Structure formats: C-alpha cells, structure tokens
Amino acid sequence: MARSSRNVLIGLDAGGSYVKATAFDLANGHSATFKRSVGTSHPRPGHNERDAELLWMRAAEVIRSAVEAVPHGRDRVAAVGVTAHGNGLYLVDEYGVPTRASIQASDTRAADLVHRWAVNGVPEQLREQVWNDLWPGQPGPLLAWLARHEPDTLRRSSAALMCGDYLRARLTGTLQGELTTWSCNGLLDSSNLSISDAALCSYEIEDLKRLLPPLVTHDMLVGPITCEAAKLTGLPEGTPVSAGVVDNVALQLGAGVTDGTHILVGAGTWSINQLLVPQDQMTISGALGAVSPYAACLAVPTGMALLIEASATSASTLTWALDHVQRGPSIEADRLGINVYDHVLEAVRDLTPDPNGPMFIPYLDGSRQSAGARGAWLGLSSSDTDYTMLKAVVEGICLEHRRHVGALAAASSPTTPLRLAGGAARSRIWSQLFADVSGRVVEVSPVEEIGAVGAAIIAGVATDEFASLDAGIEHLNPHHETFAPDPERAAFYSKRFARYSRWVNRIEEDPWAG
C-alpha cells in the first residue's frame, strides 16, 4: 500500500486504573476510543500490585478494537504511540515477560526505607540532580525493598521497566527506558541524561544497575510490532512503534501546550497542575528551587522541563460525595432520567454565592503537604442541603487547584491562563467555575482523550505523518473554548480562597492521621 494511504495513528494510554487505545483517522478527522479496566490487588497492607500480563492482554484487546473501528484500519495504521503513568516497577525477563506482579506507584511497602533515607538527608542531597523528591512508590526504593525481601525475583529478572516501557517491550520485544518517564522516577541524573550513580548508592542498589535499561528519547522509533504482538493486537507485523512520553508530558502536548504561556490543569482523579520551563532553569537557584515542585520531568519540545504540582483532590472527590454521602441527588437524577453530574452542576450554578456557606476540604487521601491531612466540611448549619454541601465540594476542588497553581507562581505570571483537561473539562459549568475561582482565563478543548492525542502526535512526528509537534496539534486538537472569569464572582472567590487557605494550613499543621 502506498505510504500516503497509511494515515491512521494509534495512541495507547495506560493509567493506574484503565488502559485505553484511540485510533485517529487523519483522512477524515474521526477517532475511536476503547478502554478496559485493570484492577489493583492488595496482597498485604501497603502493597498495591497489578497483574502485568493482564495489563498487556487488555492493551492488546483495546488496540484491536480501535483498529477494527476504522474502515480498513489494519492496512492504514502508520504508527503506534505509547504513554503511561510514571513510577512503580515492572520487572521482566529477557523477553519482556513479567517475573512478578507489577508494583504500583501508590505502593508504600518501602516507606520505612524512605523514612530512614529522608532522616539522613538523601532527598536534599539528590534534588538538583534527580529533580524529584523521594517517596516509596519510586523504582529505587522498590528495588531496595525487593533486594531485602525477594532477592530470587531480582535474580531471575533481566530488566526493571516503567509501565510504558513494559508495553513497548510487549509490542516490539525491545527492553528500553523512555527518557521523560525515567526523568520523573528519582534515578536519572538530569544534567547528563544518564542513570545517577549517586542515587543508586544512596538507595543501596548499586549492584542492581544491571536491571536498568538503555534509555531512548521520545522522538525515536524503538522497534516494529512483532509477529506475536501482531496476532494479539490486529496490527500488521512491522508497524512502527515510537518511544512516546510519560503521561504528564502526553497530557501537556495533547492539550496543545508547548511553552510556558499556559498552565495545564488536569481535573480527574488527581489534581494535576503543570508548567513548562526551559530545562536550563531546573536548578536550585532557578525554577526548581523557587517552586520546589511535587514532581518534575523532561518534556517536549526538547530543551523544556515540566514542573508538576499535584494531589489526589480533584473531580473524583465529587463522585465520592455522591456515592457515599449525598445520595439524594442521584435518586432525583434517576427519577428525571438525566445525568447526575449535569444535574448537580446545574443546581450548584444556580445557588447564590454565600460567604457564610459551608466549605469543603478535599483531603480524602491526604494533601500535597501532608499525607495525614483529612477532608472535612466546615461551617455546616441546619439550613444546609445536599446541594449546598455539594456546592462546597465542587468549590473545594477548584480552590485546591488554585492552591497548586499558586505554587507555580514563582515560575509564571499571576495572569497566566489555564488550559483545562480531564473530567471537569467536559462541563461548561465547571469550566466557568474554574475561571471564576482561579481568577484566570480558562481554555478548554473539545477533545476528551488528551493523553492519547499526545502519544499519537509523538508517533506522527516520528514517522513524518506530521512535519512538527505544532502541525500534529493543529491536526488533532486545534480548537479551544475560552471562559473568562466573572469579575464579581472572581472577587468573591478571592476572599473565599483566603479563608480556605487559613483552614487548610490548620489542618496540615495538625494532621488527623499519623
């Protein structure tokens, strides 16, 4: 088939709960997305694992579904792009087959080791080199724990991979680590783009360097689809696979943000707030030290880095409230035959802003500053209803995003607009509330699978389907709707945020959980 007829790109996106594949038909602008859940198991307290073989089977399944959803899709696929969550650990043998269950980034089995290293000042010693703080779900602490508790597993393993690396290994048979992904896991010396010997020494895993794969850059084609992968995915054997990027970078690119003129806000399970800065500013005396971000990584375009402020405090908090506390609106929405989220958000919009109304602190699983902080409604009275309490939840989610965005202020402007993605971006009401609460212009894309867009753009540039990243953005995600803050409501929420900040500081100073 002629080169020009290969005009379908596949974006594979693996998160902590789902794996999704989207087929982008460049000929007509249509796309088709399929997803499957891949659950987490908890064999012991603090041990969060996933069946890596099941993940691969589910990934192959959604790829096949996406290919089949496009007319003559199998004969038209130009390339596959991969993006996935960072951190955690996927141990494999020389063929890329798992040697144990994968360990999730949320795992805390290595907490005691991390605490000991933190007391000894290891995070501060490594910060400028590896950019990221130290926490239990990174591969370094996990390898150190396995060396103490599962040495036989390590002996029969050939490589320690991240999630995206693992999926590429199953697609192509190659064992490689992608650079943006490894730059956020605490093992990469970002000054020379190689594994940090200082980090390996600090984590007492120098002898495990043999497990760390060779590193590749996002713009490389890492290998063709193997015969075995072709049978499972429905892709032609030999289809190119690009190295891809970590999910934060894919989200940034898919949303069309390639410089520091916008702050990307992702409102889903996690509150994601991130800003691109020149890589040469990633020093203690520069943006890295000024912001001291939750996480950071190499980004695209080449020469840029991503400052990330995040916590598990975003839109899924509303789902928790509806499922476990305020059941009345769900019953009412079912009676009316309408979507419960639309129903609640419309009710929230119609409530008059009340300076004495209840406030919600969305720390169900801790805050950015304190893992022991917990959520709460404040200022409840007998006049409150399901809807005033849910209004507080929606506002609290937006206020915590504003807090994260404010942390990026040292490397940006107070008026830098926001580019909103995630579940909240699907609601015009919530998008407007983000503008009012933040006091900033908010831009929203109509495209839902932003991560897959980013992965597909990377693959398209690598195979010359797109002349540049900007050309890929123009083709796959060119339009955004703009929401400007209402001056009166912005002034109200500025006062509200000051009160919110005082309360969260108190909660973090005296955490509920030890």
Question: Rg (Cα) of the chain, in Å, rounded?
Answer: 23
Q: What is the DSSP string of 298-331?
A: E-SSTTEEEEEEEES-STHHHHHHHHHT--HHHH
pLDDT digits (tens, 9 = 90+) for 480-498: 999 999 999 999 999 999 9
pLDDT digits (tens, 9 = 90+) for 429-481: 999 999 999 999 999 988 889 999 999 999 999 999 999 999 999 999 889 99
pLDDT of residue 2: 36
Percent above pLDDT 70 for the chain: 99
> What residues of the chain score a pLDDT lower than 50?
1-3
pLDDT of residue 316: 86
Taking the C-alpha atoms of residue 272 and residue 266, their distance in angstroms, rounded to an integer, is 5
Domain membership of residue 393 as a residue range? 316-404+488-509
Torsion of CA 458, 77, 86, 200, to 10 degrees: -80
Same domain, 167 and 236: yes
Residues 6+ apart with CB under 8 A from 156: 93, 99
Same domain, 283 and 425: yes
Same domain, 145 and 91: yes
Please check whether residue 422 lies inside any domain of the structure: yes
Nearest to 296, CA basis, from 171, 428, 132, 116 = 132
Please check whether residue 411 lies inside any domain of the structure: no
Same domain, 365 and 452: no
Same domain, 214 and 258: no
Same domain, 133 and 269: no
Same domain, 389 and 441: no
Same domain, 440 and 387: no
Please check whether residue 412 lies inside any domain of the structure: no
pLDDT digits (tens, 9 = 90+) for 247-257: 999 999 999 99
Same domain, 121 and 240: yes
Specify the 3-state DSSP secondary structure of 107.
coil
Averaged confidence pLDDT in the chain? 94
pTM for this predicted structure: 0.92
pLDDT of residue 251: 95
pLDDT digits (tens, 9 = 90+) for 138-191: 999 999 999 999 999 999 999 999 999 999 999 999 999 999 999 999 999 998
pLDDT of residue 4: 55
Please check whether residue 24 lies inside any domain of the structure: yes
Task: CATH number of the domain at 96, please.
Answer: 3.30.420.40
